[in-house]
Structure 1
Amino acid sequence: MSKTTARAKEPIALPDRVLSAAGLAPVLVRELSENDRERLLAHFLCLEEDDRLLRFGQVVPDHVIENYVRTIDFNRDTVFGVFNRKLELVGVAHLAYLPAEDGQRTAEFGVSVVESARGEGIGTKLFERAAIRSRNTHVSTLYMHCLSRNKTMMHIARKAGMRIEHAYGEADAYLTLAPADQSSILKEMLEEQAAAFDYALKRQAQQTSTLLESLLPAAELAA
């Protein structure tokens, strides 16, 4: 890419113990796979019209969303998600790898967060996770395109120190990424392990709850 891009700022993150003391659970981002396609569909279909406009640049009907989710290539692109305790996707980021230009790789970042989970830093955490993956897969520029009135995306872009260009009510943001190093590789590995462990705990809790609910009628009859 011939355009001059901004250099990434180091994100400021509070330690988990500080978040726990404040009563806030850390946002854990898990890489999604083919097995999560139905949950992805449920996530996007629950978005209201204005949220669909901000995410896709237009108010897309259900059948367009269904086609989009069905055609996501998990072998080519990377998709990240944040789950709530019910194992519902409350935040999703799609990292799409664009064709290389002059030997430089670019990835495009798109994000959506359900209304009930906003204000918790989920969008920022998804961006940070996508930036680490981009670095570790030799991407030199992280790119975002959105409507200029998309406050969430604009906040993420400014916080990351991205160079932002505005035109006709739309915005393009660019961030030059540092090359991968041992720190970035280790950070990504540890974050994925933590998210996978958290997901397993939530799934076990859900299965236990379902089992107890199924046994409750029998216990009531016995009483």
Structure 2
Amino acid sequence: MLSIRKLTKKENPLLEEHLLRVGGEDRVMRFMGGVNDDFIRAHCSLVGGPSSVVIGCFVDGTLRGASELWFEDDGDRRCELALSVEHDFQGQGIGTELLRRSLVLARNRNAKSIYIACLPENRKMRHLLRKFGRIVTRLDSGTLEAELALPARSHLSLWQEFAGDGIGMMDALVERITHTGASEHRAAA
């Protein structure tokens, strides 16, 4: 079962476990360089404050992909986005759906744009951005960047987020019931 929903601050350990499972080249692509486990733990301790929102993709109850949105408080109303999908779950549309939902969420929080930076060799992110019609431009620092302009929120975008939240809550409940029922069945056996 696949479900996508926002994570609460109490679920930061799920994000940490997910990011710790992201290894090798995928970790380098996510963090734009090699980072160790302690860096990831420190990063996750910052998530869930008033300036960040995480949308997670759960596969059979385990977080396998995440979109982190970091909102700036200055007058630009810009949001920075970072995506991660575990290697064995790439190529299944998870990144596309996380980005689509992130655009709606940022729009509903009055962000004027989403900023994404990646390494030049991150072909997967560049492909994903092209799906949404965005051109990535090279920076002097050896990174690529894209800034996606967002329209103002609308009744439809608010409804899209609200409906997604409701479905995500129901999926989480079903996962909990299914997981609890399977655990009780194994214990009885």
**TM-score bracket for the superposition, by shorter chain length:** over 0.9
* Counterpart for residue 25 of structure 2: 50
Alignment of 1:30-41 (within 5 A): 30-41=5-16
Q: Is the 8 A contact 1:106 1:143 kept in 2?
A: yes
The DSSP-based 3-state class of the residue aligned with 2:48 is coil
Structure 1 consecutive aligned stretches of length 4 or more whose deviation exceeds 6 Å: none
Gaps of 5+ in 2: none
Match among 140, 152, 159 for residue 131 of structure 2: 159
For 1:134 and 1:140, locate their aligned partners in 2 and report how far apart those are by CA, in whole Å. Answer: 8
Which residue is equivalent to 2:37?
A: 62
How much has 1:194 moved relative to structure 2? 0.8
CA distance in 1, matches of 2:3, 2:127: 20
* SS state at 1:93 partner: strand
**Greater RCO structure (CA 8 Å; 6+ sep):** 1
The one of 163, 180, 190 equivalent to 2:153 is: 180
Answer whether contact 2:3 2:172 (CA < 8 A) is retained.
no
Q: Residue 152 of structure 1: CA displacement? A: 1.9
Shift of 1:54: 0.2
Q: Which residue type is aligned with residue 177 of structure 1?
A: L
Q: What count of residue pairs does the alignment treat as equivalent?
A: 188
Structure 1 letter corresponding to 2:122: N
Rounded Cα–Cα distance in structure 2 between residues aligned with 1:36 and 1:30: 12
Which consecutive residues of structure 1, in runs of 5 or more, have no partner in the other structure? 1-24, 217-223
**By how many angstroms is 1:71 displaced?**
2.0
CA distance in 2, matches of 1:176, 1:155: 18
Larger Rg: 1
Pair 1:79 & 2:54 matched = yes
Structure 1 match to 2:117: 145
Instruction: Tell me the CA shift for residue 99 of structure 1.
Output: 3.8
CA drift of 1:151 comes to: 1.7
Query: Identity over the aligned pairs, expressed in percent?
Result: 26
TM-score, normalised by the number of residues in structure 1 = 0.80
What does the per-residue CA deviation read over 1:60-90, in whole Å, with 9 as the maximum and x for residues that have no partner? Answer: 00111111111223332111101111x2111
